Homo-oligomer: A and B are copies of this chain.
Amino acid sequence: MNETVVLTPERILEVAEDVLRRFGLAKATVVDVARALDVSHGSVYRHFPSKVSLREAVAKRWLERVNAPLAKIAEGSGPASARLERWLRTMFAIKHKKVCDDPEMFATYLALAHEACKVVKAHKDGLVDQIAHILSDGVKQGAFQVADVKTSARALFDATIRFHHPAHSEDWSDPALAARIDALLALLLRGLEAPRKR
């Protein structure tokens, strides 16, 4: 009846994330994870071929939680301009929230992201695709004028990196941050705008 004694990859990931939170990236070991699960570390190696792959899976799970709400916005309907702004602001808010709520865990994630850079790259590519999807809608609606949707999506991702890349989380204490975001978004949206009909 007690299903929680079954050792599943999902359960290992849960506990592994918790161990990472408590010990930090440098000190968290596979043995620690096994101890927390009350099994031998050999059992963990039955489900994950290496420590690296376990950590990559944790990073993937983490990034999926960032991705889900953004995908919902990207897939939505309505004016692309407002949708793009909402999508970008939501991304900033998610990253900002993660830093402020649990700075220690974020530092751990930051280091983990550096290790699992392949997983992070896939995540980024997914986000650029979401921007491209919104841009594509905007072009259809006649609101945006861009040379190439894919390239412009990448440019938007690059242009906003200051407000969503973890490496810049140090200076998220600037009181004028909201104003800086407003100014940047205004500049970018104006740059995308299709010329008015006369």
Contacts and interface: CB of A to CB of B under 8 A. Distances in A.
A187 B154 contact: no
15 contacts: A147-B183, A152-B183, A154-B180, A155-B183, A156-B187, A158-B163, A158-B180, A159-B159, A159-B160, A159-B188, A167-B167, A186-B191, A188-B188, A189-B191, A198-B198
Interface of A: 147-148, 151-152, 154-156, 158-163, 165, 167-168, 179-180, 183-184, 186-192, 198
A150 B154 CA distance: 26
A180 B155 contact: yes
Contacts of A192: 187
Q: How many copies of this chain are found per oligomer?
A: 2
A153 to B, nearest CB: 9
A109 B167 CA distance: 16
Contact of A155 (B148, B154, B187): B187
Among A158, A163, A165, A186, the one with the most B-chain Cβ atoms within 10 Å of its Cβ is A158
Contacts of A156: 187
Contact of A159 (B162, B167, B190, B198): B162
* Chain A to chain B: the 7 pairs with minimum beta-carbon distance, closest first: A191-B191, A155-B183, A167-B167, A187-B191, A159-B159, A158-B162, A190-B191
